[in-house]
Amino acid sequence: MAMRLMTGRASRLLKRQQEVIQPFKYLLVLDFEATCEKDVPITTPEIIEFPCLALNTQSWEVEKMFHRYIKPRVNPILSPFCIELTGIMQETVEDEKHFPQVLEDFCNWVERNDFDGDKSAFVTCGDWDLKVMLPGQCAIDGLAVPEYLKTWINLKTSYCEATQHYPRSLKDMIARLNLPPQGRLHSGLHDSINMVRIIEALAKTYKAKLELTSTC
């Protein structure tokens, strides 16, 4: 047992000393917020915030950003719980476009910036955003899920591979990495910014390679 621990620690130390070349030049950090109710799963959650930050893994700068609020169609009135959780007000979504138009704008943004090729990968915290929420939203609107949104990096898995601990949440990763919490938890944009900081810490401190982990 002791031998195995020593070997594990030694190999992790060796890993930290090596230079890491990231497999993807751009990490497209995405975090949806959706309509919700307190304590009850709702039948048709709809995406109300759609942020995506393009992080350059050579400069560690966020080079481009897509950020939209979305007006829900099936249940257009946000619950008090949803407003409290996400900080998204009814007025914030009221004059926004519905999801099909926003997805089209997003796809144009992705393609215009060449983020649909093999130099880029999407990153989400957990698998819910791209395994559950996006396919669910596309089903509501009768849309096909774009091919490049069918594989992604689950940041919790990458975190676990780097630190040997599977995190409970974004907040948990922030705390364990000793990063000062920034912004408002459950704001899609702030959650995405915090994910960028976690990715940078994993790459720089743990020499983690951000590789694809998930598919649907």
Q: Interface residues with Mg ion (CB under 5 A)?
A: 31, 125, 191
Name the nearest CA neighbour of 57 among 17, 20, 16, 22: 22
CA distance 207 to 15: 7
Q: Cβ-closest residue to Mg ion?
A: 191
Minimum distance from residue 125 beta carbon to Mg ion (Å): 5
CA distances, 142 to each of 35, 100, 112, 136, 192 (Å): 19, 9, 24, 10, 27
Strands 47-56 and 26-30: antiparallel
Minimum distance from residue 164 beta carbon to ligand AMP (Å): 23
Choose, from 94, 186, 190, 211, the residue flagged as catalytic: 186
| Contacted by 158, from Mg ion, ligand AMP, none: CB < 5 to 8 Å by type | none
Q: Is 46 assigned a catalytic role?
A: no
* Token pair listed for 164: 């040997």
- Minimum CB distance to ligand AMP smaller for 31 or for 68: 31
- Minimum CB distance to Mg ion smaller for 31 or for 46: 31
The residue type of 26 is Y
DSSP assignments along 120-153, one per residue: EEEEESSSIIIIIIHHHHHHHHT-PPPGGGSEEE
* Token pair listed for 191: 């959650």
CA distances, 90 to each of 71, 75, 119, 122 (Å): 9, 12, 38, 29
| Contacted by 86, from ligand AMP, Mg ion, none: CB < 5 to 8 Å by type | ligand AMP
Q: Is 165 assigned a catalytic role?
A: no
Minimum distance from residue 182 beta carbon to ligand AMP (Å): 14
Q: Interface residues with ligand AMP (CB under 6 A)?
A: 31, 33-34, 36, 45, 85-86, 186, 191
- Minimum CB distance to Mg ion smaller for 31 or for 202: 31
Minimum distance from residue 82 beta carbon to ligand AMP (Å): 7
Minimum distance from residue 139 beta carbon to ligand AMP (Å): 17
- Minimum CB distance to ligand AMP smaller for 62 or for 85: 85
* SS3 state of residue 51: strand
| Contacted by 137, from ligand AMP, Mg ion, none: CB < 5 to 8 Å by type | none
CA distance 96 to 90: 11
Catalytic residues: 33, 186
